[in-house]
Amino acid sequence: MNRTDRDVDRDISRQAPVVGLSLHHRDSDMLQDLVKLPEYGPVVRITHGDGYAWIVSDPTLVRSVLKDMRFSKEGRHAAPWFIDESGLIGSPQTSVASDIVTSEGEEHRRLRKLHMLALSPARVQGWSATISAVVDELLDDLEHRANTAAHNTPVDVVTGLAYPLPLTIICTLLGLPREVHQLMRNASEKIFFGGSAAVRDKGREQLYETVAELIDHEPNRISDGLITDLVALTRTDPPQASLTEVKAWIPSLILPGHESTASLLASALYELLSARHRGAITTGSIDAVVEETLRLHPPFPLATWRFATCDITLSGIDIPRGAPVLVNLAAVNHDPLVHPCPGQFIPHRDPINHVSFGVGIHYCVGAALSRLETRTAISAFFRRFPDARLANPDVAPQWESELLSRRIGTLPVILAAR
């Protein structure tokens, strides 16, 4: 029998080293640990449940694992020790129907096609005027708050702009009534940064039940949008989707649809205001600012869970069948061989390569939307407040990380005179 490269790999295979990394950092910065992981090996393990989770950090391996069909996002491949703290795969609400994030193959292609009805770059461009209008309204609010407070009182641009913009846009795109937007926000906060399984469960319950209640009992409160488009597909002959599916899909748009863009927008504002304080000249287009922020501060530093569908050897390291696998996007973005001074914000890098929206067939469906929202908000913010400055320029912002997400908690800014 001929020896294949894989056989040779097996002869020298070894266990991944175990590192003491926690996915619960609420008041600290997971990114700093993640960018150092490649120093411990191309693949490492962390303890997880009663077993381990594997983290792939070597930049070349990261890109190949994201395209390698032997790593599946379907929860049915997970080993018994796997605990889905995120609730993406294992919660009572998410398990009722397959969704785009956790499906593969033909089913994933079907769901992706339906989601792209609303989120293709061409459709998103049609949202430009709405996004500008929401940004203007939020900037009016910020200005009003600053004007009614004592001179130079800082305003928090995280709660005043970074969160409400993508929340309003995703809820409007879906057709959700304004009265439930804040409820969606509160539920999402519990799910992403709730700190405990009980709080995350509560958030999921609130989110799913509110959406289901509207679809089942108060459809007249839902405006034309993605929900009505999807519900229409349940009435075609034959039906292209079921109501149970539609109810299960909406939360997986609301959640990533605003948490990640909020993190991106707050990080971009921080970097630009911080550069201004240091007297650094930020050359680079608004597009480059957004891309460099995505590289430096990936809102999801780790991609969502994948599971080894068979025994796999990567760079001589064994990953057993069923292994839960995380892919370290942050390590690719901070690869010093590709990005000199990777920890610095340098928007005139050329090219700016990052994998913050993933790679391959699960590439983020919301990338065009979040880019448009962030560019629009940054341009309008600096047009409106050309003298804005950080309230605490010499203090690093409080980064918060939990499970797979990272963000700035608050960002007090002095808007200054117009």
Q: For residues 348 and 223, what is the distance between their CA atoms, to the nearest angstrom?
A: 42
Q: Are 81 and 51 in contact (CB under 8 A)?
A: yes
Quick one: which of 61, 170, 319, 346 contacts ligand HEM (CB under 6 A)? 170
What mask, x for binding ligand HEM by CB under 6 A, covers residues 113 to 142?
--x---x-----------------------
Provide, rounded to whole angstroms, the least separation between the CB of residue 406 and ligand HEM: 10
Contact call for residue 61 and ligand HEM (CB under 6 A): no
Contact call for residue 368 and ligand HEM (CB under 6 A): no
Provide, rounded to whole angstroms, the least separation between the CB of residue 235 and ligand HEM: 23
Q: Are 331 and 39 in contact (CB under 8 A)?
A: no
Q: For residues 250 and 227, what is the distance between their CA atoms, to the nearest angstrom?
A: 8
Provide, rounded to whole angstroms, the least separation between the CB of residue 252 and ligand HEM: 6
Provide, rounded to whole angstroms, the least separation between the CB of residue 244 and ligand HEM: 18
What mask, x for binding ligand HEM by CB under 6 A, covers residues 272 to 301?
---------------------------xx-
Region of residue 17 (left: phi > 0; alpha: psi -120 to 50; beta: else) = beta
Q: For residues 67 and 76, what is the distance between their CA atoms, to the nearest angstrom?
A: 19
Contact call for residue 366 and ligand HEM (CB under 6 A): yes
Q: Which residue is nearest to ligand HEM (CB)?
A: 366
Contact call for residue 309 and ligand HEM (CB under 6 A): no
Residue type, 187: A
Quick one: which of 358, 380, 391, 410 contacts ligand HEM (CB under 6 A)? 358
210 vs 356, beta carbon nearer ligand HEM: 356
Part of the chain binding ligand HEM (CB under 6 A), chosen from 57-65, 176-184, 251-259, 338-346: 251-259
326 vs 414, beta carbon nearer ligand HEM: 326
Residues 48/354/378/184 CA torsion (nearest 10 deg): -30
Quick one: which of 333, 356, 376, 405 contacts ligand HEM (CB under 6 A)? 356
Chain centroid to CA 47: how far?
23
Size of interface with ligand HEM, in residues (CB under 6 A)? 26
Provide, rounded to whole angstroms, the least separation between the CB of residue 394 and ligand HEM: 28
Part of the chain binding ligand HEM (CB under 6 A), chosen from 84-92, 128-136, 366-374, 395-403: 366-374
Output the six-digit token pair for 390: 């950080």
Contact call for residue 369 and ligand HEM (CB under 6 A): yes
Contacts of 85 (CB under 8 A, 6+ apart): 23, 197, 200, 403
What is the enclosing helix (H) or strand (E) of 198? helix 197-217
Residue with tokens 């069923």, as numbered in its chain: 322
Contacts of 383 (CB under 8 A, 6+ apart): none
Provide, rounded to whole angstroms, the least separation between the CB of residue 304 and ligand HEM: 4
What mask, x for binding ligand HEM by CB under 6 A, covers residues 252 to 271?
xx--xx--xx--x-------
Q: For residues 77 and 93, what is the distance between their CA atoms, to the nearest angstrom?
A: 19
User: What beta strand segments (E) does 100-200 contain?
Assistant: 155-156
Strand pairing partners for 56? 43, 327
Q: Is 247 exposed, middle or buried (0-12, 13-18, 19+ CB in 10 A)?
A: buried
Residues of the shown chain interacting with ligand HEM in the complex, contacts defined by CB under 6 A: 100-101, 112, 115, 119, 170, 252-253, 256-257, 260-261, 264, 299-300, 303-304, 356-358, 362, 364-366, 369-370
